[in-house]
Structure 1
Amino acid sequence: MSSTQRIGFLVWPGTKALTLALAEEALRVAQKVHPEVTYDLQFYLAETPEVPALGAWQLPGLPWQGQLDACHKLFLLADEPPTAVHASLGSALKHAVRGGCVIGGLSAGVYPLALLGLLDGYRAAVHWRWQDDFAERFPKVIATSHLFDWDRDRMTACGGLSVLDLLLAVLARDHGAELAGAVSEELVVERIREGGERQRIPLQNRLGSSHPKLTQAVLLMEANIEEPLTTDEIAQHVCVSRRQLERIFKQYLNRVPSQYYLELRLNKARQMLMQTSKSIIQIGLSCGFSSGPHFSSAYRNFFGATPREDRNQRRNSSPFELSSVPAERG
């Protein structure tokens, strides 16, 4: 794509510098490493900000009035959910969408889009902190726990580093995976994450419990993947009896500690299969399995495919492919 694209950032008061910088820097680096890539970046203020304290970071840009129509892509940025959208701004955003603008919400920027009905029937990546609130307020939106979603002409990222992940996907879609890879190398990004990957939910939220002994036990398991501890050893470390530990796991997770530990190791192995070039035997050993056949059998029983079959199936898909349906939960 050789023509210049105008990309706008519509920023709400309170947006942190990092959220905007992650998106902006990916596009600026793309132009640096590939001079033929040209973006015209525009920054607009959604509302009149308060006068910042002396020395505080100030939002870039000018008031948005009458300037949104010319954008090919427009990202709405907020770090806390706006409670309302001014009527004139709402009309301008809807007009831009009708004119063919691809629109996105970064972090809490999904809220203005949802308030205007612009996400009805679309998938939207929502930060885990807001998922319950968002799902209750906007039942017509398909809220996901993905890092980011690109559903037709709507783009959303849950926040934090997922903003950079989404912009790398934009570069890959516009100019090819090679450019996106070059930008990620320039920014020293360890790996390019797919949109359908799930957010890393805090342990207490993932477990659905704040039971201190359960939390301690799971943290021990996560820290000892390559050389798994026995249930007796875990019980000893968290200062409970084996029987009491089993009761806690059964009550809160509906499984015994050994079963949860195995699932934890298998999920770690699957992540390594998809994200590294290590051999299947190396991965099995690093996840606590004593042999290749033992690893393959346990993996197939849990995931329904052998490690090799699962890896080959994933590799046949583009690393930037964005799923058209929500990922399975679990």
Structure 2
Amino acid sequence: MSPTIERPIALLLLPGHSALAAGALLDAFSRVNELQDEADYRPQPVSPAGGPVAASSGARFITEALDPQLPWHALFVLAGERAPASAALLALLRELGARSCVLAGVDGGSAVLAAAGLLDGERASVHWTLADTLMEAYPAVVWSGQVWEINAAASRLSCGGGTACLDLALAWLAGLHGDRLAQELTVALGLERARGRDERQRRPSSERMGAGSPKLAEALALMEANLAEPLPTEEVARLVGVSRRQLERLFKQHLDSLPSRYYLELRLSRARRLLQQSSQSILQIGLSCGFSSGPHFSNSYKASFGHTPRDERSQRAAAWRSLPSTEETPS
């Protein structure tokens, strides 16, 4: 049997980071050791100077000073919207990157890696509220609206806020140890499933999604109000008061998508929720979400989610059947 490989993981906590993300990553890297014996993951909260670091919630984490001489396997930068990043810290991150340390940005941590020039030419994810600002500040980075991103060499990782760090960690660990371990870890962490690379960050409302662009917010509100009878892109543009080309530019700039594609995703997301939560028939759900027939709904659903509406409903039924009964046994 080959010896277990030690893999120190630095969780670089900067003021304003998410306490939820920090705790989730500590738990994930601790639990993965119980599921495999190839590597011994050792997560360690660190900061540039050591000592307590305040999260956005006010909670404080006790950290060690980041020692660049230690053989870090990976370093996760956790930061809030306005992460302080000194020239010395950026230089240290560049040094670690040159030494083949895997670098990951969580939430505003992606902005710190971008400031160090470590994401140039890469796709990167960041919390959607920061996307517009970072697109302007770091145009060499391809900012995406996805939940997480991992580059081809698996040396640069990034994700949005909240529990997106778990989706990122699970995907990264699956690449190192296989999908089965990632599935077992998903269950161990109490998650229903891990979100895939193709899933976009959820945004709270059309008004906030269209912040900074009233025309975009108006177009999104129109789409959300007309899911059962979808409006053609030309009609949305006409009602908003812009040309089709202008509307497409707005969607590409703010949502990295075309209006027609985004509209379809809205309808499919609503259909998925109904399949999981309602007792309506599959055909009723398809028609209520703007699909002209059962086959049209089924084909579109499978192209987006990888399985049919019938499979979705069957999986949900199987999950409910597997739950223990809550009925009391008569005495």
Tell me the TM-score normalized by structure 1.
0.68
SS at match of 2:150: strand
RMSD, aligned CA: 4.2
- Which residue does the alignment assign to 1:159? 161
Q: How does 1:162-311 map to 2 (within 5 A)?
A: 162-201=164-203, 202-206=205-209, 208-209=213-214, 221=226, 228=228, 250-251=239-240, 264=263, 267-269=266-268, 283-288=282-287, 294-297=293-296, 306-307=299-300, 310=303
What does the per-residue CA deviation read over 1:216-266, in whole Å, with 9 as the maximum and x for residues that have no partner? 765555xxx6xx4899xxxxxxxxxxxxxx8997226879xxxx9998567
203 and 292 in structure 1: CA distance in 2 versus 1, 3 angstrom threshold: closer
CA offset at residue 34 of structure 1? 4.2
157 and 141 in structure 1: CA distance in 2 versus 1, 3 angstrom threshold: same
Contact 1:149 1:196 in 2 (8 A): no
Q: Is 1:15 matched up with 2:17?
A: yes
49 and 250 in structure 1: CA distance in 2 versus 1, 3 angstrom threshold: farther
Unaligned runs of 5+ in 2: 245-258, 308-331
- Which residue does the alignment assign to 2:147? 147
Contact 1:12 1:47 in 2 (8 A): no
- Which residue does the alignment assign to 1:325? none
CA offset at residue 310 of structure 1? 2.6
Contact 2:53 2:62 in 1 (8 A): no
285 and 169 in structure 1: CA distance in 2 versus 1, 3 angstrom threshold: same
Contact 2:14 2:84 in 1 (8 A): no
Contact 1:209 1:252 in 2 (8 A): no
62 and 204 in structure 1: CA distance in 2 versus 1, 3 angstrom threshold: same
Q: Is 1:97 matched up with 2:97?
A: yes
Aligned identity (percent) is: 25
Contact 1:85 1:112 in 2 (8 A): no
Residues in 1 aligned to 2:191 and 2:281: alpha-carbon distance in whole angstroms: 24
Residues in 1 aligned to 2:127 and 2:10: alpha-carbon distance in whole angstroms: 22
Residues in 2 aligned to 1:212 and 1:308: alpha-carbon distance in whole angstroms: 26
CA offset at residue 292 of structure 1? 9.2
Residues in 2 aligned to 1:288 and 1:15: alpha-carbon distance in whole angstroms: 44
291 and 3 in structure 1: CA distance in 2 versus 1, 3 angstrom threshold: same
Residues in 2 aligned to 1:14 and 1:26: alpha-carbon distance in whole angstroms: 21
One-letter code of the match for 1:14? G
Tell me the TM-score normalized by structure 2.
0.68
117 and 263 in structure 1: CA distance in 2 versus 1, 3 angstrom threshold: closer
CA offset at residue 185 of structure 1? 1.6
